[in-house]
Chains A and B, each alone.
Chain A
């Protein structure tokens, strides 16, 4: 079966750095997405990786290793507004999106 694993919950301190990991086992691979979802709001697109390496976008970076079936989302200079759930999703060989259950990130002052 197809599977996406990410931690259920993480806690970090304002101003610090946090890394949210995502491992996947899917039938083929056509890219990996990260979304942010604040409580009671829509998921919003953060990043898309299809090649190995690090993609940086402001305070957020996303890394992919296809050989390891692994990605992470790196958040720097954490702000209170970064408290949200972060969803990892993989596009399989049939271009079906396989979703993880999300990681709830709690930022403390």
Chain B
């Protein structure tokens, strides 16, 4: 079982669809993150959860809605996305949340394409 698992690996959806991305970590970490990765651009932090509480929302449009039911699971609900939202969405976890200098462990990401 890999440390951080993301499903699905690939997703193609229309602009009016509703879908969800799932992330699960098996490392016993307390913090989880959603990032957006676009080609040749730096990773963009979207949301941070620390002990299931959302501690960061970096001005992300409301068409992205995160959910963290427990410290091992993180979801990203998608609704009415735009073509510019096509990207690789990465989930990560760390032992503690922001405020600690610890490496983050990433999943392989979901490649999202908006038609």
List A residues at the B interface (Cβ < 8 Å).
Answer: 4, 8, 30-31, 33, 40-45, 48, 50, 87, 89, 91, 94-102
* Contact-residue size bin, chain B (C-beta under 8 Å from the other chain): 10 to 19
Surface stretch bound by A, among B14-22, B70-78, B94-102: B94-102
Which one of B43, B108, B109 has the highest number of Cβ atoms from chain A below 10 Å of its Cβ?
B43
A91 touches B43 (CB 8 A): no
Tell me, in angstroms, the Cα distance from A4 to B43 when the chains sit together. 12
Which of B41, B42, B99, B101 has the largest number of chain A CB atoms within 10 A? B42
Given the interface pairs A42-B108, A45-B103, A95-B99, the reply to whether A101 lies near B4 with Cβ below 8 Å is no
* Contact digits for B101-115, partner A, Cβ 8 Å, 1 yes 0 no: 101111111010000
> Chain A at the B interface: mostly helix, strand, loop or mixed?
loop
Residues on A with C-beta less than 8 A from B109 are 42
The answer on a CB contact under 8 Å between A95 and B90 is: no
The 3 closest A-B pairs by CB, nearest first: A45-B103, A42-B106, A99-B42
Q: Kindly list chain A residues whose C-beta atoms are within 8 Å of the C-beta of B106.
A: 42-44
Residues of A within 8 A of B40 (CB): 8, 101-102
Known contacts A87-B43, A100-B42; decide if A42 and B101 are in contact (CB<8 Å).
no
Q: Which residues of A contact B46 (CB under 8 A)?
A: none
The listed residue (B42, B98, B107) touching A42 by CB distance below 8 A is B107
Which residues of A have CB within 8 Å of B43?
87, 89, 99
New contact pairs (16) apart from A40-B108, A43-B106, CB-CB < 8 Å: A8-B40, A33-B103, A40-B111, A42-B4, A44-B106, A48-B101, A91-B101, A94-B98, A95-B98, A95-B99, A95-B101, A96-B45, A96-B98, A97-B98, A98-B42, A99-B42
Indicate if the CB atoms of A101 and B101 lie closer than 8 Å. no
The distance from the CB of B38 to the nearest CB of chain A, in whole angstroms, is 10
